[in-house]
């Protein structure tokens, strides 16, 4: 069966099927299962599990009988469930299911009664296999019985197994001989086979171990020389990760045997670890399909899988583990150390999941089951007692609460950078790796991590290999003008990302929103378009920034980001600890960038821990001012001077001021147009411009603070502390000083502009100046911000960044740009 998993394939000559317990929960499910077998194959073999929940019920019955408890009511309920199902499938008792089930339950009752005195534990251990025997009668009836050409085979008649170190092994020669004898009597019939059960070499009933029905199906597909095996279950196929932990997990269309073996070993729930060996032995293609969604093609497992865009096919987690580590300076170069260690673990019955040793040989660590860790440690201590006494080995440590994350894929073989991609994705999600292992076959990279990080690690790795979008948990503080504009842009972008496949690798989830007093923490993502309304609805609580950040930093989402549009210095005070905790910060607020130098340096230091601080919108709103400066410096250029118009309000005022209209009238007009802050003194004081200059200076590596800038305020001293109403009444007091300066400038053939300056010597000033003719500041549009950088490369002709530098929409665009930049640094396509 070559070619695409989605392409039509030729019907196999002999098709083996297996139905799990979830597909056989009641009479209706048996009928559905029977209807799935009309696939055109000339001969069919159907292996069945017990009805859903029956194996557990049988195990409980055995335990109750052994404990001397009253097991009869549970036995009676189980019996009645099977008889009711038989009657629903074979109401006229034409196929004998009802009578056969009664007989089996009579035998079960006798066995349970005998358990109180029975000494044969193996006999009791075989009783849970009765569920498959009962199920085979029900499936036989659902398919129409002998009259429809179906024969029932009790696997115990032909399948002979023996215990082994790797699990139950099959006596293939004897089993084939017995099946050949059986088939002489049933050569042309379709067959219903009991899963899970078998007999040992002494003829005693036994089972293949829990979840062994899949193994039975593979065994009988091999014994019957089937051309294909389909395992019917309750999922669409093998998924790229556990969908309970990674909602974006995808169904894999194809897998190789090698890939499936790796995932099965590392806990993929769809397959039993031993299932693949019998089909791999004969190259039988195996397909996983869903009885509840039979239209889905499922996952095809065959010798070679189809190439995939990602080198990794799937990811799996193994829980409840611990790391054992033997440390010793004297072990370096000593032959037999590893043999001694693992021999001790083998003798103690400790199973090793993963092994890691540095080339220095100073330590050997292995990952074991948590419930075996103490036993393993004691065994190693005993085995190396002499070495410890001599000081050659120092200690044996146990690190509890460990998970192993395994990345599996044939595409990893010979592909450079796969490990780097995995480790980079985990590092960006702040996952610490305790141990690493990769086999020479290159199909599996396994890492041991703290159990508390397991879900976040799985999602981060899933995103790192483009198996799902990179997910960011977002909290927004300050849903004012800029905040709401940002929400609108996010809403519009979300639908665009969904339409455009190029942008389908970023998943932005707004999970928290807050204003100065209240917050709403959403368990799931909020819609961007009406998120601000959540602060007026149910579930609102008093703002607590620590709790807000903890909610955004969800353990099940790999990345967290807070957008601060509040303009609050109290919020900015939390930036260092948030960034140190791995929360990325995006803000248009100038408090962090221009506030106390110690706090700014703490933020920069915290960035070493993994969180990012982005603040492009603080200087030029949506203009790439900081980005341009950073690019110059990162490429080795040297900043010498900065000069420019850093206020859209002041740009408008001085572009309009011609000496004919009073300056105060222009201020009133700008206020009416919404160009100023509610109190125009916030613009006219020059403090906002000075803050922007501080931010640029610090970005260039200069330790400048606000109090080191010479700031010219346009607000007379007498008007700085009066009420806003009185300020507007006395606004005319601004006119005379500015008129005098304007007249002087015009007499010299110059104009006035409000400029920020940082010179070669580090002197910083903000105020009204008369730029020389040809200066870029004289040619800007009304509200444009304009920043010119003089550097070693741009010494004679400065680099100019110019454009709208104010307004909610352009400021929100700058914030959005920073947000997407962070997403891209995390590996997203955006």
Q: Which residues face 254 on adjacent strands?
A: 300
- Note whether 410 and 313 are within 8 A (CB): yes
The sign of the torsion formed by the CA atoms of 263, 265, 267, 269 equals: positive
Cβ neighbours of residue 661 closer than 8 Å, sequence gap 6 or more: none
Closest by CA position to 108, among listed 133, 88, 90: 133
Cβ neighbours of residue 656 closer than 8 Å, sequence gap 6 or more: 666, 782
3-state secondary structure of 496: helix
3-state secondary structure of 336: coil
- Note whether 139 and 156 are within 8 A (CB): no
* Residue 724: active-site member: no
Residue located via tokens 């300020």: 727
CA 8 from chain centre, in angstroms, equals 34
CA 500 from chain centre, in angstroms, equals 22
DSSP string for 724-758: HHHHHHTGGGGHHHHHHHHHHHHHTT---EEEEEE
3-state secondary structure of 413: coil
DSSP annotation of 430 reads: T
DSSP string for 620-656: HTTS-HHHHHHHHHHTT--EEEEEEE--HHHHHHHHH
For the chain, report the end-to-end CA distance as a whole number of angstroms: 39
Q: How many CB atoms sit inside 10 A of residue 782's CB?
A: 13
Instruction: Round to whole Å and give the CA distance between 525 and 476.
Output: 12
Instruction: Round to whole Å and give the CA distance between 178 and 511.
Output: 63
Sheet of 43-48, strands arranged across: 150-153, 190-194, 43-48, 14-19, 228-233, 286-290, 299-302, 254-256
3-state secondary structure 301-364: EECCCCCCCCCCCEEEEEEEEEEEEEECHHHCCCCCHHHHHHHHHHHCCCCEEEEEECCCCCEE
- The catalytic residue among 269, 481, 692, 724 is 692
- Note whether 552 and 544 are within 8 A (CB): no
Instruction: Round to whole Å and give the CA distance between 781 and 620.
Output: 15
Which tokens is 684 given? 């006219």
CA 629 from chain centre, in angstroms, equals 34
By CB neighbour count within 10 A (0-12 exposed, 13-18 middle, 19+ buried), where does 787 fall?
A: buried
Q: What are phi and psi of 150, to 5 degrees?
A: -105, 135
Q: How many CB atoms sit inside 10 A of residue 342's CB?
A: 17
CA 329 from chain centre, in angstroms, equals 39
By CB neighbour count within 10 A (0-12 exposed, 13-18 middle, 19+ buried), where does 550 fall?
A: middle
What residues are annotated to the active site?
692
């Amino acid at each position: 069966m070559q070619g695409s998993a989605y392409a039509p394939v030729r019907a196999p000559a002999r098709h083996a099927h297996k139905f799990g317990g979830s597909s056989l929960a009641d009479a209706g499910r048996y009928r559905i299962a029977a209807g799935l077998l009309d696939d055109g194959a000339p001969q069919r073999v159907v292996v069945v599990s017990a009805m859903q929940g029956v194996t557990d019920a049988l195990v409980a019955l055995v335990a109750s009988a052994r404990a001397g408890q009253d097991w009869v009511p549970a036995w009676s309920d189980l019996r009645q469930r099977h008889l009711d199902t038989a009657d629903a499938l074979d109401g006229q008792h034409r196929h004998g299911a009802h009578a056969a089930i009664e007989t089996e339950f009579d035998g079960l009752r006798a066995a349970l009664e005998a358990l109180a005195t029975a000494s044969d534990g193996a006999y009791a251990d075989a009783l849970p296999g009765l569920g498959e025997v009962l199920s085979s009668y029900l499936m036989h009836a659902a398919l129409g019985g002998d009259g429809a050409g179906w024969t029932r085979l009790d696997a115990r008649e032909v399948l002979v197994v023996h215990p082994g170190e790797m699990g139950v092994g099959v006596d293939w020669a004897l089993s084939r001989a017995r099946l050949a004898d059986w088939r002489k009597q049933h050569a042309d019939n379709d067959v219903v086979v009991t899963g899970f059960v078998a007999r040992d070499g002494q003829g005693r009933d036994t089972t293949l171990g829990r979840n062994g029905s899949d193994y039975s199906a593979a065994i009988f597909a091999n014994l019957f020389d089937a051309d294909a095996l389909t395992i019917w279950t309750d999922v669409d196929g093998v998924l790229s990760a556990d969908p309970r932990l990674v909602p974006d997990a995808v169904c894999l269309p194809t897998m190789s045997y090698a890939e499936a073996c790796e995932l099965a070993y590392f806990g993929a729930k769809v397959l039993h670890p031993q299932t693949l060996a019998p089909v791999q032995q004969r190259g039988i293609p195996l397909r996983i399909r869903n009885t509840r969604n039979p239209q889905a093609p499922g996952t095809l497992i065959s010798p070679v899988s189809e190439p995939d865009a990602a080198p990794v096919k799937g990811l799996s987690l193994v829980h409840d583990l611990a790391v054992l580590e033997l440390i010793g300076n004297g072990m370096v170069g000593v032959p037999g150390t590893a043999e001694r260690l693992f021999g001790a673990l083998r003798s103690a019955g400790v199973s090793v999941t993963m092994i890691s040793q540095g080339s220095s040989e100073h330590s050997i660590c292995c990952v074991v089951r948590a419930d075996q860790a103490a036993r393993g440690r004691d065994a190693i201590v005993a085995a190396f007692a002499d070495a410890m006494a001599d000081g050659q080995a120092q200690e044996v440590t146990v690190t509890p609460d460990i998970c192993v994350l395994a990345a599996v894929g044939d595409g990893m073989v010979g592909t450079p950078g796969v490990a780097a991609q995995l480790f980079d994705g985990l590092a960006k999600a702040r996952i610490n790796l305790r141990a690493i292992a990769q086999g020479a076959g290159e199909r599996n990279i396994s890492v041991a991590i703290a159990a508390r990080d397991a879900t976040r690690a799985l999602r981060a790795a899933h995103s790192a290999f483009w198996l799902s979008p990179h997910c960011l948990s977002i909290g927004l503080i300050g849903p004012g003008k800029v905040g709401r504009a940002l929400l609108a842009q996010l809403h519009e972008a979300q639908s665009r990302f969904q339409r455009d496949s190029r942008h389908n690798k970023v998943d932005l989830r707004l999970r928290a929103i807050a204003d100065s007093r209240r917050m709403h923490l959403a368990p799931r993502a909020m819609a961007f378009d009406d998120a601000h309304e959540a602060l007026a609805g149910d579930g609102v609580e008093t703002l607590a920034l620590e709790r807000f950040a903890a909610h955004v930093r969800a353990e099940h989402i790999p990345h967290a980001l807070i957008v601060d549009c509040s303009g609050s210095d109290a919020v900015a005070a939390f930036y260092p600890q948030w960034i140190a905790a791995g929360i990325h910060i995006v803000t248009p607020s100038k408090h962090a960038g221009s506030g106390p130098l110690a706090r700014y340096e703490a933020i920069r230091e915290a960035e070493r821990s993994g969180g990012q601080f982005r603040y492009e919108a603080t200087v030029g709103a949506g203009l790439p001012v900081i980005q341009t400066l950073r690019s110059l410096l990162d490429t080795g250029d040297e900043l010498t001077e900065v000069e420019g118009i850093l206020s859209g309000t002041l740009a408008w005022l001085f572009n309009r001021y011609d000496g004919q209209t009073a300056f105060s009238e222009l201020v009133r007009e700008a206020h009416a147009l919404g160009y100023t802050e509610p109190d125009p003194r916030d613009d006219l004081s020059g403090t906002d411009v000075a803050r922007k200059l501080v931010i640029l200076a610090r970005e260039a590596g200069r330790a400048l603070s606000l109090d080191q800038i010479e700031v010219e305020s346009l607000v007379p001293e007498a008007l700085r502390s009066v009420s806003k109403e009185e300020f507007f009444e006395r606004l005319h007091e601004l006119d005379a000083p500015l008129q005098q300066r304007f007249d002087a400038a015009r007499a010299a053939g110059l104009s006035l502009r409000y400029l920020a300056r940082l010179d070669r010597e580090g002197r910083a000033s903000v105020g009204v100046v008369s730029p020389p003719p040809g200066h870029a500041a004289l040619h800007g549009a009304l509200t444009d911000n304009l920043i010119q950088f003089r550097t070693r490369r741009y010494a004679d002709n400065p680099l100019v960044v110019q454009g709208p530098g104010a307004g909610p929409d352009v400021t929100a665009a700058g914030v959005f740009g920073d947000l997407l930049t962070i997403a891209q640094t995390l590996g997203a396509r955006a």
